[in-house]
Amino acid sequence: MASNLEWRPDSALAPTLTPPRLDPGNTERTAGELSRRTFLRYSAATALALGTAAVHSGRRVTAAETIGLPAATSSHPIRVIDCHAHLNHRSRSTWEADDRKLIDAADRLRIEQLCCSILTPRRPATVEGFRECNQWVSDGIRRFPGRVRGYCYVNPGHSQEALDEIRRCVEQRGFIGIKLYNEHTCTEPIVFPIVELAIQLNVPILQHAGHAHYPLEGQPHISDGSHLAELSRRYPEAKLICAHICGGGDWEWTIKALRRAPGVFLDTSGSVTDAGVLEFAAQVLGVHRLLFGCDNSMTAGMGRIRGANLSAADKAKILGGNMARLLPSLAALPS
Amino acid sequence: MIVDANAYLGPFAFRRLRPNTAPTLLQLMDVKRIDRAIVSSASAIAYRNVQAANEELAAEVTPHRDRLVPFAVLNPFYSGWEDDLKICHEDFGMRGLRLYPKWHNYQLADPCCLELVHAATERGWIVSIPARVEDHRQRSWLVDVPDVPLDELATLIKACPRARFLLLNGLNYASMQLGRKDNGLPANYLIELSRLTALLNNELGQLMANLGPERLVFGSGMPFSYPDPALLKLEVLAAPEEAKAKIRGQNIARWLVA
């Protein structure tokens, strides 16, 4: 069934609809900086994720309070960073409005930053195709300053062009990582120069991944947890992210496959809302390896963090602390 | 008042479910401020003789009938379903039916299924049908159960205008007959929201516009799913509080009273 073979954000499967603006009053971003009002809203993010009210006794709670610490310790604000998001390909007639909806959705869920890529509609991606996508991501970074970060998407099959594109995106455009899809399994030697460049540039690779117990027609080269573990053994210094555990098939299999691969982080995104996935991942991998993401399944992404039976401190790490540690450039809040 | 129209008790064949007992599910409901839940047996999905699972469910919920509303899982192609229906209604006090046509390998349009739906309707039961149990991509190597197509649900609904249907675990209604305005179908079905979007393409908003908030109900899928994503959808949904209250519990409560 073709619909089961595309590991892509659910929103891409759904019909294009035009709901009313969800947050028409949000105008404080235009200066490209986080205003105090916005900052307070971000601080309320953890309240949302923890399932607690953002307002107590008529005042906003601090981020620290929401995770059970005294208000006086709130000098360390909670970060909420979506490690896996997508802006829209411009072959979609509504791309501009849909990008805006993504930012609005992030506002509603108090997500501070979205780490985005754009994929070509058809794979394998051509050089022109991935360059175009990355140009649009770069535009997105400018259109939504402080909110959108970029992953550089390449097809490793175009070896030199892919390496050149990564250098251009990271060194000149400020992209924070590399996105690899399913053109090649990540353990194929053709991928190794990209991993080596990622190490050199000190950026992570978000690797599309999934494991199903049947052949994935249409995705013969999809990577899974065992491939990422193998790649991590070859390059222990690489920062690898296994994409969308909640949209990549048998999540118990994947988590167990990553147990002994400490260099691989796990992106919690996806549309599947199975209970227990985060607790199992925390038990097997450790909380320090889990990264909050939505992959454009917004309420699923935030809801599972909120629902997980984990401590507030652990949830804060997953929501953004771990990603900020992985990406030193995100460590400091914008002034 | 929050009423969860889509909850389960007991073990599932292919994955551990927690919490899956009545006391532990109620604890979770307390934490999430869910007042009542419609529950059916997760075991029954894979049992051949589903009545054994209904018996287990009845025993589990008996001390908690004020909050847990049991629905029976029945298979219209399994011998004795008529007796099982009678027992589930008259002895166990169950309030509705949950059908798994793909898991139990029958067609919704088959006369045997229609007979069961009519019999349940005669008893005043609600007929609930989950479009899926788990995400198809993570299915076991042992089974390959497709989702229930929405057009098959529409055909059944049209064939049984006196019945009351509760459609669970589905999505993309808005682009299909079931979710369109003036769709020619009887207004005898409610759509549960656990897989609908409330942001981005906002299918919940579309269905509110097309069908009205009276036709939507809250459901979480717990303990298969965390309840929080479904709760969060209602929180972020751009809708008047009055409409949210209907979805949160009033709509399904009205059906349960009726």
Question: Is B181 near chain A, with CB under 8 Å?
Answer: no
The answer to whether the CB atoms of B137 and A4 lie below 8 A apart is: yes
* Residues in CB range of A174: below 8 A, 6 or more apart: A141, A150, A329
| Single-letter amino acid, residue B110 | D
CATH class of B3-257: alpha beta
What pLDDT was estimated at residue A180?
Answer: 98
Going from N- to C-terminal start, the domains of chain A cover 79-330
Tell me what the mean pLDDT of segment B194-218 comes to. 98
Q: Which residue has the higher pLDDT, A73 or A315?
A: A315
Band (pLDDT 50/70/90 cuts) for residue A331 is: low
Distance, CA of A112 to CA of B219 (rounded, Å)? 29
Q: Please determine, looking at this structure, whether the domain spanning A79-330 carries the CATH number 3.40.640.10.
A: no
pLDDT of residue B258: 76
pLDDT at residue B96 greater than cutoff 60 = yes
The Cα–Cα gap between B196 and B48 comes to 31
Instruction: Say whether A241 sits in a helix, a strand or coil.
Output: strand
Q: Is B228 on the interface with A (CB under 8 A)?
A: yes
Contacts of A10 in chain B (CB under 8 A): 197
Q: Is the pLDDT of residue A330 over 80?
A: no
What number of other Cβ atoms are within 10 A of residue A91's Cβ?
Answer: 10
Interval A175-222: pLDDT, tens: 999 999 999 999 999 999 999 999 999 999 999 999 999 988 789 999
Mean pLDDT of chain B: 97
d(CA A254, CA A245): 8
Residues from chain B contacting residue A114 (CB–CB below 8 Å): none
Contact present, B93 and B61 (Cβ < 8 Å): no
Sheet holding A81-86, edge to edge: A81-86, A113-117, A148-153, A177-180, A205-207, A240-242, A264-267, A290-291
pLDDT band at A49 (very low <50, low <70, confident <90, very high): low
A-B interface: how many C-beta pairs under 8 angstroms?
A: 129
How far CA A283 is from CA of A210, A250, A278, B96, B153, in Å, comes to 20, 17, 8, 38, 40
The token pair that represents A189 in the structure block: 């030697």
pLDDT band per the 50, 70, 90 thresholds, residue A18: very low
Whether residue A252 and residue B227 make contact (CB cut-off 8 A), yes or no, is no
Is the Cβ of A109 closer than 8 Å to some Cβ of chain B? Answer: yes
Instruction: Kindly tell me if the per-residue pLDDT of B222 is higher than 50.
Output: yes
For an interface test with B, which of A13, A16, A17 has the most B Cβ atoms less than 10 Å from its Cβ?
A17
What is the band of B251 on the pLDDT scale with cuts at 50, 70, 90? very high
Chain A residue with CA closest to B239: the answer is A22
Asked if residue A194 lies in contact with residue A166, where contact means CB atoms within 8 angstroms, the answer is yes
User: Are A274 and B146 inside 8 Å of each other by CB?
Assistant: no
Least confident of A212-216, B97-101, B171-175: A212-216
The tens digit of pLDDT for each residue in A57-105 reads: 344 444 434 333 444 444 567 899 999 999 999 999 999 999 999 999 9
pLDDT category at A245 given cuts 50, 70, 90 is very high
> Does residue B41 sit at the A interface (CB-CB below 8 Å)?
no
Q: Does B79 touch chain A (CB under 8 A)?
A: no
Ranking A39-43, B32-36, B155-159, B234-238 by mean pLDDT, the lowest is: A39-43
CA B86 to chain A, closest CA, distance in angstroms equals 34
Question: Residue A109 and residue B221: Cβ atoms within 8 Å?
Answer: no
Q: What is the pLDDT of residue A68?
A: 37
Q: What residues of A are in contact with residue B148 (Cβ under 8 Å)?
A: none
The arithmetic mean of pLDDT across residues A218-227, rounded, is 95
C-alpha dihedral sign at A293, A298, A300, A304: positive
Kindly indicate the confidence band of residue A47, based on its pLDDT and cuts at 50, 70 and 90. Answer: low
What ipTM was estimated for this complex? 0.96
Is it the case that residue A250 has pLDDT exceeding 80? yes
Instruction: List for chain B the helix, strand, coil content (%; round to 5).
Output: 40, 15, 45
pLDDT at A125 over 70: yes
CB B123 within 8 Å of CB B162? no
CA distance readout (Å), B204 to B128, B170, B171, B238: 19, 12, 10, 9
Give the closest of A210, A272, A303 to B228, CB-based. Answer: A303
A51, B228: Cβ pair inside 8 Å?
A: yes
In this predicted structure, the answer to whether residue A19 has a pLDDT above a threshold of 70 is no
Give the side-chain half-sphere CA count within 13 A for A35. 8
Confidence at residue A48, expressed as pLDDT on a 0 to 100 scale:
55
- Per-residue pLDDT at A288 exceeds 90: yes
Tell me whether residue A36 is exposed, middle or buried, using C-beta atoms within 10 angstroms of its C-beta: 0 to 12, 13 to 18, 19 or more: exposed
Flag whether residue A9 sits within 8 Å of chain B, measured between CB atoms: no
Would you call A159 an interface residue with chain B, using a CB distance cutoff of 8 Å? no
Mean pLDDT value across chain A: 83
A307 in contact with B, Cβ within 8 Å:
yes
- Give the closest-approach CA distance of B112 to chain A in angstroms: 29
Q: Give the SS3 label for residue B255.
A: helix
Amino acid, single-letter form, for residue B221: G
Is residue A16 a contact partner of residue A191, using CB atoms and an 8 Å limit? no
Q: Where are the alpha helices (DSSP H) in A14-126?
A: 36-43, 45-50, 63-66, 95-108
Model confidence over B49-81: pLDDT tens digits? 999 999 999 999 999 999 999 999 999 999 999
User: What percent of chain A has pLDDT above 70?
Assistant: 76
What's the token pair of residue B142? Answer: 């042992």
CB contact under 8 A, A304 and B206: no
Q: Which of B135, B201, B229 sits opposite A17 (nearest CB)?
A: B201
Is the preceding omega at residue A236 within 30 degrees of 0, hence cis?
Answer: no
A296 touches chain B (CB under 8 A): yes
Residues 6+ positions from A329 with CB-CB distance below 8 Å: A174, A176
Q: What's the pLDDT score for residue A56?
A: 38
Chain A contact present for B136, CB below 8 A: yes
Is there a contact between B138 and A272 if contact means CB atoms under 8 Å apart? yes
